[in-house]
Amino acid sequence: MNHIVVKNYEDMSKQAAVIIASQILRKKNAIMGFATGSTPIGTYQELIRLYKEGILDFSAITSFNLDEYYGVPVTDTNSYRYFMEENLFSHVNIRKDATFVPSGMASDAQAECDRYEEMIQQAGGVDLQLLGIGHNGHIGFNEPDSHFPARTHLVELAQSTIEANARFYKTRDEVPKKAVTMGIGTIMKAKSVLLLAGGKDKADIVEKTIKGPITPAVPASILQLHQDVTIIQVL
């Protein structure tokens, strides 16, 4: 693992954007794996800046997002599709039909998960997967469990995740309790992984991810077995 410690959020965002930009510059039609959450917002702002300065061209890339809340329509401002439109897609020249976020509204969730997994493999697999990390070590919405889920699947969100997400809602009852997420196997198939962790409150889980035992109780610990992982951490 390549572990980079930076001073502040701005440095993390700049360094992450450089890694993503160099992937797109090396491979114009890269398959990108994107994440939502607070952590990558600054990185997306940097990528938008590089696009506006004429340095980056998104027109040939394809993107697959890690996850989406279940039962939340794309028009909902809390949906991850909405987040991606707001924070990246609508500001750059990415082709809308080349951006994929799992549907949280499919009546047959399993069929949607299988379709999403298949689409990623059909596209040739993800070149660079961007990740955040939950306080409990989740990546995507793969919560601590007794096994590492292989494929895209429907999950019940952990209580701690629901509590962390409550900051975006007026009442706790409104916070989604389920999500569709890429599996650990899906994430591990990405050629490169870039994990961003901001703040002292994530220091303990980053330590466990890097140095602790590889266990589904800390889902991110599986990344120790990936051959190309960069972690950028703000301390």
Amino acid type, 52: K
- Structural contact between residues 195 and 133, judged by C-beta atoms closer than 8 angstroms: yes
Q: How many CB atoms lie within 10 A of CB 80?
A: 24
Least CB distance from residue 155 to ligand F6R, whole Å?
A: 11
Residue whose CB is less far from ligand F6R, 81 or 191:
81
- Among 68, 112, 117, 143, the active-site one is 143
| CA distance linking residue 117 with residue 153, whole number of Å | 9
CB 25 to ligand F6R: min, Å = 24
Shortest separation between residue 28's beta carbon and ligand F6R, angstroms = 25
Cβ proximity to ligand F6R: between 134 and 149 the closer is 134
Residue 211 CA to residue 221 CA, distance in Å, equals: 8
- Least Å distance between CB 229 and ligand F6R? 15
Binding site for ligand F6R (CB under 6 A): 35-39, 66-67, 132-134, 138-141
Catalytic-role residue among 138, 142, 153, 165: 138
Report the residue number, 67 or 117, with the smaller CB distance to ligand F6R. Answer: 67
Structure tokens at 94: 């990415």
CA proximity to 129, closest of 6, 9, 229, 234: 229
What are the backbone dihedrals phi and psi of residue 130, each rounded to the nearest 5 degrees, phi first? -90, 135
Q: CB nearer to ligand F6R: give 39 or 186.
A: 39
Per-residue buried b or exposed e for 124-144, using 16+ beta carbons within 10 Å of the residue's own CB: eebbbbbbbbbebbbbbbbbb
Is 165 an annotated catalytic residue? no
Closest contact distance (angstroms) between CB of 38 and ligand F6R is: 4
Identify whether the C-beta of residue 32 lies closer than 8 Å to the C-beta of residue 61. yes
Whether 65 sits among the annotated catalytic residues: the reply is no
Residue nearest to ligand F6R (CB): 132
Considering only CA atoms, which of 165, 182, 183 is closest in space to residue 174? 165
Annotated active-site residue 143? The verdict is: yes
Rank residues 23 and 37 by Cβ distance to ligand F6R and give the closer one: 37
Which one of the listed residues 67, 112, 117, 127 is annotated catalytic? 67
Q: Is 93 a catalytic residue?
A: no
Q: Of 3, 76, 78, 136, which one is the catalytic site residue? A: 136
Q: Which residues are catalytic?
A: 67, 136, 138, 143
